[in-house]
Amino acid sequence: MYKLISKLFARSLGLYFNLTSLFVPKKTAKKAFVLFCTPRKGKVIKGQKGFLEDAKDLILEEGDNSIQTYRWKGTGPTLLLMHGWESNTFRWRNFIPRLQKENYNIIAMDAPAHGNSSGAILNVPLYTSCAQKVINTYNPQFIIGHSIGGMTLLYNLFKHAKHNEKVHKVVTLGSPSELSDFMRQYKNILGLNGRMMQLLEDYFINTFGFRFAEFSSSKFVKDITKKGLLIHDELDVIAPYWSSEQVHANWKGSKLVTTKGLGHSLHQDKVRDQIVDFLKS
């Protein structure tokens, strides 16, 4: 019943957007974009507070956003962790002890509209600008990103290549590649018509300078010279496995590790060990 109600609500929103786009196209496109960028969860809940409070570090200001960072001090290389959509730094709770064994200086950040950071929306360009603020502050040698965090990481290396020379290695976990896939799903869920999708793409072009098809991790990595590790599960139902295959095909310095049955989150010990081995190699 809940799924049926959710589907009907989504369709009603789509109908609303399709109709209002005839009268106020730009305003409607912005509303549809904001909805697309609005997470339903990801803020800190009761069971997560203790773990996060103990590690709180700087709050960095980037535009209108206050970004909460966390730190677990170590004398080894500095490492940055970037979580995915509707998540926060708590997702790394089981990985951080493994990294502490290697004495890494561990930094993590809550993306805008997630965890203890401010804001109501999140998109890759916004996440990228906030991540660059964190990178400029802490100068990590290694960066690990899960899901949208991984997609953001690759876009960041593309956009800020000249400013991230100290970053030596990066890792993505279950990360998507193509914006066009997200927009296709959004279109189908809401039942948006062709006119509405064109308005959305126009809004995207005017705001970010990219068409849907141009915003692609597999294109962003073509000139990246850093070493990368891509870990992706064949049965991932959130971000398709072929996303990492396409990125790997275009990234000369990358290694693709394929898992089967470990899911989208990739929380398992074997995954953590593979990451640590890659960072130490």
DSSP the chain: -HHHHHHHHHHHHHHHHHHHTTT-HHHHHHHHHHHHT--SS-B--GGGHHHHHTTEEEEEEETTEEEEEEEE--SS-EEEEE--TT--GGGGTTTHHHHHHTT-EEEEEPPTTSBT---S---HHHHHHHHHHHHHHH--SEEEEETHHHHHHHHHHHHTGGG-TT--EEEEES---BHHHHHHHHHHHHT--HHHHHHHHHHHHHHHS--GGG-BHHHHGGG--SEEEEEEETT-SSS-THHHHHHHHH-TTEEEEEESSSTTT---HHHHHHHHHHHH-
Say whether pLDDT at 2 is over 60: no
| Arithmetic mean of pLDDT, 237-253 | 97
pLDDT digits (tens, 9 = 90+) for 21-79: 999 999 999 999 999 999 999 999 999 999 999 999 999 999 999 999 999 999 999 99
pLDDT at site 273: 98
Measured CA distances, 68 to 94, 113, 252, 274 (Å): 20, 11, 34, 28
pLDDT digits (tens, 9 = 90+) for 92-131: 999 999 999 999 999 999 999 999 999 999 999 999 999 9
| Arithmetic mean of pLDDT, 2-26 | 87
Report the 10 Å Cβ neighbour count for 136.
Answer: 12
> Global pTM?
0.96
| Arithmetic mean of pLDDT, 130-136 | 97
Phi, psi at 209, each rounded to 5°: 80, 15
pLDDT at site 186: 96
| Arithmetic mean of pLDDT, 152-166 | 91
Give the separation between CA 148 and CA 124, rounded to whole angstroms: 7
Give the separation between CA 202 and CA 183, rounded to whole angstroms: 13
Say whether pLDDT at 1 is over 70: no
Q: Are 106 and 134 in contact (CB under 8 A)?
A: no
